[in-house]
Amino acid sequence: MKHLLAIAGLAVAVLVTAMPAVATPMTLQDAIAKVERETGAKVLSAETKGGARQKVYRIKVLTRDGQVKVIDVPAGD
């Protein structure tokens, strides 16, 4: 009986690790953090554009050299 339970437990562990991870949609706060981390720029504003199917986060930043840039981050990233 112990062997049967051990084999069943091993089978479950293998199945769980083999399953693909379900991607959760990126939030606006996630997109802001990503842009800050990747650019080192200061975020001036951020807004959500698009509909339910193709949402994009538009983030306006001030770069280290004083330029204002707009970065679009797809919500699916």
Report all structural domains of the chain as residue ranges with CATH numbers, in order of start.
Answer: 23-77 (2.40.50)
At residue 19, the pLDDT reads 53
45's CB contacts (< 8 A; 6+ apart) are 59, 60
Distance between CA 15 and CA 76 in Å, rounded? 26
Pairing of the two strands 56-62 and 42-49 = antiparallel
Point out which residues pair with 60 in neighbouring strands.
45, 70
In tens, the pLDDT along 22-48 reads: 667 899 999 999 999 999 999 999 999
pLDDT confidence of residue 5: 46
